[in-house]
């Protein structure tokens, strides 16, 4: 079975482009347009890697997702799923939450800047979840 990538992003065009790219390279792609929907998909489908947008309906919705994954019991079994956070604004959670002590806890595994550099992004995915089956290229 091919590796499952969950895309959590409120921009359907961004999802469409990335989905097409990943499917072309043999990955299975799941889509969610909000943090809540993304968390439901995590429970239902146990993805191998999560690509997570920061600013969705609310300006820090992505961090809400990493927070739930780290702290809520419901997601205990999914805590190890690698999370790549994507944003068009280069900004770390230290800047976003200057007063917060537990900022380390909501740090994702990796930050990526939008738009994604295609070859680099594909290499990163392959290193993270292994080469997909039935890769087209």
- Residue 1 interacting with other proteins (CB under 8 A): no
Pairing mode of beta strands 110-113, 28-32:
unpaired
Could you tell me if 9 and 33 are in contact, meaning their C-beta atoms sit under 8 angstroms apart?
yes
What is the distance between the terminal CA atoms of the chain, rounded to a whole angstrom? 17
With contacts defined by CB under 8 A, name the span among 36-44, 51-59, 77-85, 123-131 that binds other proteins. Answer: 51-59
Choose between 23 and 78: whose C-beta lies nearer to other proteins.
Answer: 23
87 DSSP β-pair partners:
113
Sole binder of other proteins in the list 1, 13, 44, 134 (CB under 8 A):
13
Please give the helix or strand (H or E) that residue 16 lies within, else none: helix 12-24
- Residue 89 interacting with other proteins (CB under 8 A): yes
Sole binder of other proteins in the list 44, 101, 119, 127 (CB under 8 A):
119
Choose between 11 and 74: whose C-beta lies nearer to other proteins.
Answer: 11
Which residues, in sequence order, are CB contacts of 132 under 8 Å at separation 6+?
2, 3, 25, 26, 27, 126
DSSP state of 101: G
How many residues line the site for other proteins (CB under 8 A)? Answer: 24
Please give the helix or strand (H or E) that residue 71 lies within, else none: helix 61-71
- Residue 94 interacting with other proteins (CB under 8 A): no
Choose between 70 and 96: whose C-beta lies nearer to other proteins.
Answer: 96
> By the criterion CB under 8 A, which residues form the site for other proteins?
11, 13-14, 16-18, 20-21, 24, 55, 57, 59, 87-89, 91, 114-119, 136-137
């Amino acid at each position: 079975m091919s590796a499952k990538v969950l895309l959590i992003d409120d921009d359907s065009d961004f999802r469409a482009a990335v989905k097409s790219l990943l499917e072309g390279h043999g990955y299975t792609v799941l889509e969610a347009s909000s943090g809540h929907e993304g968390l439901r998909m995590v429970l239902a489908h146990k993805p191998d890697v999560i690509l997570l947008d920061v600013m969705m309906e609310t300006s820090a919705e992505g961090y809400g997702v990493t927070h739930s994954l780290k702290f809520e019991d419901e997601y205990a079994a999914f805590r190890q799923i690698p999370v790549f956070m994507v944003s068009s604004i280069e900004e770390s959670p230290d800047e976003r939450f200057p007063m917060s002590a537990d900022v380390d806890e909501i740090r994702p595994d990796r930050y990526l800047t939008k738009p994604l550099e295609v070859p680099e992004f594909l290499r990163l995915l392959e290193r993270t979840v292994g080469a997909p089956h039935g890769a087209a290229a």
